[in-house]
Structure 1
Amino acid sequence: MKKTLLAELFFFLIITSLSAQEAIFRAEQLTSPEIEGDVVTFRFYAPKAQKVEITGDFLPTEKIDSPMGTIDSPGKAALTINENGVWEFKIDKLQPELYSYSFHVDGLPATDPNNPFLIRDVASVTNIFIIEGAHADLYRVQKVPHGTVAKRWYPSDGLQMERRLTVYTPPGYESSAEKYPVLYLLHGAGGDEEAWISLGRTAQILDNLINQGKAKPMIVVMPNGNVIQDAAPGEGTLGFYKPQFMIPKTMDGTYEENFMEIVNFIDKNYRTVPQKSHRAIAGLSMGGFHTMHVSRFFPDTFDFIGLYSAAIMPREDASGKVYKDIEGTLKVQRDNGYKLYWIAIGKTDFLYDANQEFKKLLDEIDMPYTYVESEGGHIWRNWRVYLSQFAPQLFE
């Protein structure tokens, strides 16, 4: 009886091993994406599928309705199937960039099973790849000295919880006694303390800019701007749940009012230069909104301010004290002085008009700023570039 059981177990293990090896070998034989210069081929094994499409930010955009209004979204392209049941799509002349994509198989969204490199943006998970060259080389891990990325928890008395933030320290921080300037980098709606480090490639950009001598070594702090969360979904005490684009209290003034808790924690726990001249704050979309309001609510705290595709004015129902007398507090910020007030926006961004109105207000009160207008809309492709352009201007 024992021999029979042992034989069955042995047979089961052999079959399982062969099945696993077959899956491994099949995956190895199928390369997707296959990058040859500026030509990329995508493949998806689905012999029984009726239709396979790809969507990615390298395809022509289409207009869709979203919680942010009508926005540009990546279009779709059809794959063709070969005799082996492998669907293929080829695209050429791709410019250097970090791209994201996913598939639709008979209408159902799917990631590329042959590409293990993924990013999460709100609740959407997509694959990524890089076409090397030009500014895209800033997004790659190069053979340069590297900084350290840490996840830290800080006590928030105002929000009555321990909260998590992401901190980048520059190469050599641990082995030196030097004090460093700090950039506070804020995410957009639906993001969290993971957004800038994963989607924004902050560590790679800073490592490469610092190595090239184009940016000063700095600490970069990436907080969670969702005040009802202690950390990103799946990383905090709320456990695993589906991330949402907008959650309660994200733009009601609570975050801005309690922001100095973050600054004080960083100054206490890191070797910083705790002066206005050595602090910068920047953010995208909702993070740009928070940046604008934090910097004027605490007008003697930051000498460098960056608004990337920023939401500007509070909603009509926003009643937080942060949003009182916006023009008056901007004038105080102006009179206190600063070194750089930097505004960047894409020409087709749905927040373009709001940024033009904000520029008019700044012009009316003689508040100096630098304005950068780029192609494209409300997309990470722009925000990575904005960070790459903004960081070299800091702490001069």
Structure 2
Amino acid sequence: MSGETVAAVSWWRKRAAGVAAFVAVGLAFTGTGAVGVYRYVDNYWVYRGYAPPHDPSFVRAKGTVERFYVKSAALGGRNQPVDVYLPPGYAASKRERYPVFYLLHGVPGRPGAFLQTVRMGVVEDVLLARHTARPMILVMPFGSTGSFTDKEWANGARPNEGWETFVSRDLVRAVDARYRTIRSADGRVLGGLSEGGYGALNIGIHHPTEFRVLESWSGYERADDIAAIFEHRASLLRRNSPSLVLARKAKAVRANGVYVWFYTASGDRDRAQNVRFASELKRLGVPHRFAVLHGGHDWSLWRGQAADAFLAASRHLGGSDA
């Protein structure tokens, strides 16, 4: 297939909700003015049709959101925005150090979706109020040059396209320098949804000394042959396919105590990839948990599994008593 055809396949396989937004525009335009249409589409893009997230009444302590920028040498000096959710009590506990849950978005994507659609901040507030999880700093970087530009969280063929290195080196260093973190793999989780789930596995298997837990929510394990990223280079496609790299990296992954937590859905076109990857993890003795859930490749699944994802991260970090 041509590069354009492959890119189109990649677009649809990640099931972005852009089509639904455009349909909404057409339906809404007949009954509302331009301002109403804009507000509807903007709200849909932010919340994907859900109500804005808020903590239930029994939650007394809430986390806080802030943004900072990482100047990344791997990206040629680009300043990348990073959204951060600081857990309840962070400001008051001046000496406590926290584990970090790095979350990678899909495409089209933006880091804010983890808080506004998946509700990870609400999930953390609720779990901490119930004393069922340890507090974590949530770090959500922007992994592209535009919301609709696919970078696959990978080190591409072209100069200054080191998105893997941006995460594994530049971002981790910047977060450790700025916040009271546990500055070792014992305190780091790397996860993501769709393309971000692929990115978490790809980066984490390449860097087993940097992250203790890897989570893939509806991700995949074979690199898409996207010309703008990999230029159809067979060596780059192999290197960026976790299913092809795992056997070579398994010894280091086991030695560093890496735990892999991932799921797919019965209606996900990449279900077979995930099933095969789970079999390979088992064969190679890599600790993991895998599930095929009812549903598709969509926000309702990721939102519904958010609490389980947070709990899995909390319970499998180094030093956890859970």
Pairwise CA distance, 1:250: 4.9
Aligned mates of 2:45, 2:16 — CA distance in 1 = 19
Q: Which amino acid aligns with 1:172?
A: G
1:309/1:346 contact within 8 Å kept: yes
| 169 and 107 in structure 1: CA distance in 2 versus 1, 3 angstrom threshold | closer
Q: Does 1:153 align with 2:153?
A: no
Gaps of 5+ in 1: 1-64, 77-100, 131-138, 234-242
Structure number with greater Rg is 1
Pairwise CA distance, 1:322: 5.1
| 368 and 66 in structure 1: CA distance in 2 versus 1, 3 angstrom threshold | closer
| 343 and 247 in structure 1: CA distance in 2 versus 1, 3 angstrom threshold | closer
Q: Does 1:120 align with 2:45?
A: yes
| 71 and 257 in structure 1: CA distance in 2 versus 1, 3 angstrom threshold | closer
Q: Which residue of 2 aligns with 1:375?
A: 294
1:251/1:314 contact within 8 Å kept: no
Q: Does 1:280 align with 2:189?
A: yes
Q: TM-score of the superposition, structure 1-length normalised? A: 0.63
2:102/2:140 contact within 8 Å kept: yes
Root-mean-square deviation (CA), in Å?
3.3
| 196 and 108 in structure 1: CA distance in 2 versus 1, 3 angstrom threshold | farther
Q: Which residue of 2 aligns with 1:142?
A: 56
- How many residue pairs match? The answer is 281
| 112 and 66 in structure 1: CA distance in 2 versus 1, 3 angstrom threshold | farther
Q: Which amino acid aligns with 2:283?
A: E
Pick from 240, 249, 258: which aligns with 2:166?
Answer: 258
The structure carrying a bigger helix percent of its residues is 2
Q: Which residue of 1 aligns with 2:110?
A: 192
The structure carrying a bigger strand percent of its residues is 1
Pick from 63, 74, 84: which aligns with 1:167?
Answer: 84
Pairwise CA distance, 1:373: 2.1
| 156 and 322 in structure 1: CA distance in 2 versus 1, 3 angstrom threshold | farther
Q: Which amino acid aligns with 1:351?
A: D
Pairwise CA distance, 1:190: 1.1
Aligned mates of 1:379, 1:151 — CA distance in 2 = 26
Listed as ranges, the matches of 1:1-396 within 5 Å are: 67-69=11-13, 102=24, 104-105=26-27, 118-120=43-45, 127-129=49-51, 140-143=54-57, 144=59, 145-159=61-75, 160-177=77-94, 178-226=96-144, 229=145, 243-244=147-148, 246-247=149-150, 250-253=153-156, 254-259=162-167, 260-316=169-225, 317=232, 319-320=235-236, 323=240, 326=245, 327-338=247-258, 340-393=259-312, 394=314, 395=317, 396=320
Pairwise CA distance, 1:194: 2.1
Aligned mates of 1:156, 1:183 — CA distance in 2 = 20
Pairwise CA distance, 1:291: 0.5
| 275 and 153 in structure 1: CA distance in 2 versus 1, 3 angstrom threshold | same
Aligned mates of 2:181, 2:290 — CA distance in 1 = 29
Gaps of 5+ in 2: 1-8, 157-161, 226-231
Aligned mates of 1:70, 1:179 — CA distance in 2 = 36
Pairwise CA distance, 1:287: 0.6
The C-alpha deviation readout for 1:157-183, integer Å capped at 9, x for no partner, is 111211110000001111211111111
